[in-house]
Amino acid sequence: MPAPATSPASTALPDALGRFGAFGGRFVPETLMDALNVLAGAYAEAQADPAFRAKLQDYYANYVGRPSPLYFAERLSKLVGGADIYLKREDLNHTGAHKINNAIGQVLIAQRMGKTRVIAETGAGQHGVATATACALTGLECTIYMGEEDIRRQKLNVFNMRTMGATVVPVTTGSRTLRDATNEAMRDWMGSSEQTHYTIGSVVGPHPFPMIVRDFQSIIGQETREQSLARLGRLPDAVVACVGGGSNAAGMFYPFINDDEVALIGAEAGGRGPNSGDHASSLTQGRPGVLHGSFSYVLQDDDGQTDDVHSISAGLDYPGVGPEHSYWKDCGRVRYESITDAEALDAYHVLARREGILPALESSHAVAQAMKEAPALGAGKVLVVCLSGRGDKDAYEIARLRGEPMG
Amino acid sequence: MRSPTVNPPHSSENVMNRIDALFTRLRSQGRRALMPFLTAGDPELEATAALIGEMVTRGADMVELGIPYSDPIADGPVIAESYTRALRTGIKLASIFAMVERLRSSERVEAPIVTMVSYAIVHRHGVTAYLDRAVSSGVDGLIVPDLPVEEAADLCRLATARNLSLIQLVTPTTPRDRALKIIASTTGFLYYVSVAGITGERRELPPELADNVAWLRSQTKLPVCIGFGISGPDQIRQLAPVADGLIVGSALVRRLRGAAERPRAEVVGEIGGFVEELARALTLT
Ligand SMILES: Cc1ncc(COP(=O)(O)O)c(C=O)c1O
């Protein structure tokens, strides 16, 4: 059950140093500080420019296909029992996930700043595809860093990125997943920031990235709020989203932060179980520390070394989380839970059979959490799940896990 | 917030920090400092101790000791891989400090030792715990490459109270007004990063490097040392006239690849030889 709020969460954050309460900030080499300051200035200017906002709106409406539908999953709700479950269909966006909301916004900023090249890290490949897409759309050069293990798990997205003209650089260091791809992207940016913008893919990293990504993703929560009021005449009772770095969740939650009657629940990757190395539950099992330029909950050993993590879903396979989530957790405004690989896989199949929707494995964590929440909430209540992406990219991996490889 | 009037366990107010003493001496002799960088624990910690002793004997004035970290974003492949090799040996911070303590007590190594350490590690151990142990083991200063000046106020105050130097970095991307802020909270020496980018040897260093360092030296009494990209004696000769000291990292660490499979004495001798070559280049300029 939702913990009582220990202190009200403010929506007026971050402060000038990029802090959300104790969390956030900038823990990066001096070499990047000027680029971050320049970016913060350019971002503020863009947001104050009606022409920029109009252009972004136009892309959202006519290119991405926004607003995304709020769909009543009636057969799922019947099966589970209790609250009515609605799906916020980010999977229907162009490129198949919420990542495009942020990628287009940031690439437009890069273009305004006169950058000629864009780099990004990607885990599941959805942010990589979204960035490659936005670069094809604007004519900017694009390089995507992706861990070798993720390249294996997410072949379709790699193929699509390359088709759109992006260079995909395999990262072979460390665990060869999202965390290592993020290191490589930051290293590239250390030497290239003059002509290159780093389009970070989640609400992580040094200020101003967590704020920028949250703002661009907030379209999810804003639409959900409006759709809910228009359709149901009220706000939902609970909202659930999966949390990797935390961008779809931040975008979904932020517009509801001041609506105390709306319970906000984040679902992290519980992996194979609670032992270190078997999961990626930074908020529910980690502790405050520094990773990738920000102070936030992190999975780290007693010596400050980042733990190995695991998740069935490449997009949640990350040992850190955005600083605003750490703030919301400590304020008690958002409740964070952990969903195992098996529970996510089960939810994936339930949604496929019951609703004819193949969710991304990341989003399947949110569906699994919703299946636990709905009966507890009870009949007559409304629960919205952020269906952050579609599952096409995961078909090969799920077939392999089922022992029926597609070849 | 802790009170600024902490009584540090091992500070001796009237004793000059080894780094300050070194630069005072070198300046009076018209000499520059040679500062090799090594990863603690690559190939393993006993070898690091032997390497430090050897480097100091063969001309190193100060040693920069890299504390291995799992996610170093300022480091190129050579040092990042070196960190990985060290971490694979299961090395812990406690054993690194114990090694330094041993060098100070039984080996009588007197050259200044500075740790290069991610704030992720300092924070996990606790700032005061880290600093106290650094002092008690005989470390003289620290470089925290992922702690920009905005976040460094507490660390600067607590380090200064312990007579530990907090060496901060200025880079080619640092605006000049910002550089002045960094200078104001730096002790020991100012670290000028020669290139905008990660650590690693460079064939060419930027043409504006000398001007930038000259400007910094006109703004502060602190010694200004140049690091990142320096690959060998030629660049040492080129840069020595403009700086108070030169830091050589990747060029040295690269020579430790595969060192675990070789006899210790051979590796130590080879690194010593390289340091001697660098030291000779420095004194002949
Ligand atoms: C469909 C989908 N959902 C969620 C995520 C996790 O990212 P975040 O927590 O930033 O939304 C990803 C990341 O790749 C994704 O592709």
- One digit per residue, the tens of pLDDT, for chain B of length 285 reads 334 444 444 444 557 899 999 999 999 999 999 999 999 999 999 999 999 999 999 999 999 999 999 999 999 999 999 999 999 999 999 999 999 999 999 989 999 999 999 999 999 999 999 999 999 999 999 999 999 999 999 999 999 999 999 999 999 999 999 999 999 999 999 999 999 999 999 999 999 999 999 999 999 999 999 999 999 999 999 999 999 999 999 999 999 999 999 999 999 999 999 999 999 999 976
pLDDT digit string (tens) for A36-95? 999 999 999 999 999 999 999 999 999 999 999 999 999 999 999 999 999 999 999 999
The radius of gyration computed from the CA coordinates of chain B, to the nearest angstrom, equals: 18
The dihedrals phi and psi of B211, each to the nearest 5 degrees, come to -65, -45
Alpha carbon of A82: minimum distance to chain B alpha carbons (Å): 44
A92 lines ligand 1 (CB under 6 A): no
State CA B103 to chain mean position distance: 17
The mean pLDDT value of chain A amounts to 96
End-to-end CA gap in chain B: 48
d(CA B48, nearest CA chain A) in Å: 19
Residues A160/A129, Cβ–Cβ less than 8 Å: yes
> CA neighbours within 13 Å on the CB side: how many for B65?
29
The answer to whether B33 and B250 are in contact (CB under 8 A) is no
How far is Cα B239 from Cα B247, in angstroms, rounded to an integer?
11
The fraction of chain A above a pLDDT of 90, given in percent, is 95
| Type of residue numbered A254 | Y
Partners of B165 in beta bridges: B141
One-letter amino acid identity for A134?
Answer: A
Lookup: tokens for B31: 């000499």
- Tell me if B174 and A34 make a contact (CB, 8 A cut-off): yes
A169 C-alpha vs ligand 1 centroid, how far in Å? 20
Across the interface, which of A26, A35, A291 has its CB nearest the CB of B173? A35
**A389 with A98: CB under 8 angstroms?**
yes
Side chain identity at B100, as an amino acid letter? V
**Cβ-contact A368, A344 below 8 angstroms:** yes
- CB nearest A302 (choices: B124, B147, B173): B124
Q: What is the pTM of this model?
A: 0.96
pLDDT digits (tens, 9 = 90+) for A302-355: 999 999 999 999 999 999 999 999 999 999 999 999 999 999 999 999 999 999
- Assign 3-class secondary structure to chain A: CCCCCCCCCCCCCCCCCCEECCEECCCCCHHHHHHHHHHHHHHHHHHCCHHHHHHHHHHHHHHHCCCCCEEECHHHHHHHCCCEEEEEEHHHCCCCECHHHHHHHHHHHHHHCCCCEEEEEECCCHHHHHHHHHHHHHCCEEEEEEEHHHHHHCHHHHHHHHHCCCEEEEECCCCCCHHHHHHHHHHHHHHHCCCEEECCCCCCCCCCHHHHHHHHHCHHHHHHHHHHHHHHCCCCCEEEEECCCCHHHHHHHHHHCCCCCCEEEEEEEEECCCCCCCCECHHHHCEEEEECCEEEEECECCCCCECCCCCCCHHHCCCECCHHHHHHHHHCCEEEEEEEHHHHHHHHHHHHHHHCCCECHHHHHHHHHHHHHHHHHCCCCEEEEEECEECHHHHHHHHHHCCCCCC
pLDDT above 60: residue A228: yes
Q: Are A252 and A222 in contact (CB under 8 A)?
A: no
Q: What is the pLDDT of residues A232-284, one digit of tens each?
A: 999 999 999 999 999 999 999 999 999 999 999 999 999 999 999 999 999 99
Residue keyed to tokens 């500070």: B11
B147 Cα–ligand 1 center, Å? 29
Dist CA A99 CA B229 (whole Å)? 37
Q: Can you tell me which atom of ligand 1 is nearest the CA of A360?
A: 1
* Domains detected in chain B: 39-283 (3.20.20.70)
Separation in Å, CA of A286 to nearest CA in chain B: 12
Chain centroid to CA B160: how far?
Answer: 17
Contacts of B147 in chain A (CB under 8 A): 27
- Return the pLDDT at B12: 46
| Residues with Cβ within 8 Å of residue B145, at least 6 apart in sequence | A29, A30, B74, B116, B118, B169
pLDDT one-digit tens code per residue, A80-93: 999 999 999 999 99
Q: For chain B, say whether A27 makes contact (Cβ under 8 Å).
A: yes
pLDDT number for residue A407: 63
Question: Would you call A138 an interface residue with chain B, using a CB distance cutoff of 8 Å?
Answer: no
Q: Give the containing element (helix H, strand E) for B63.
A: strand B63-66
Which of left, alpha, beta for B123 (phi over 0: left; psi -120 to 50: alpha)?
alpha
* A388 flagged as catalytic: yes
ω before B43 within 30° of 0 (cis)? yes
A250 near A214, Cβ under 8 Å?
A: yes
Q: For B262, phi and psi rounded to 5 degrees?
A: -110, 155
Annotated catalytic residue: which of B44, B64, B132, B140?
Answer: B64
pLDDT for the residue A3: 46
State in Å: Cα A338 to ligand 1 middle.
Answer: 15
Give the pLDDT confidence score for residue B16 in this predicted structure: 87
Share of chain A above pLDDT 70, in %: 98
Which residue blocks in chain B are alpha helix, DSSP H? 18-29, 45-57, 77-88, 93-105, 119-125, 127-137, 153-161, 176-184, 209-219, 233-239, 250-253, 264-283
Nearest CA to ligand 1 atom 16: A126
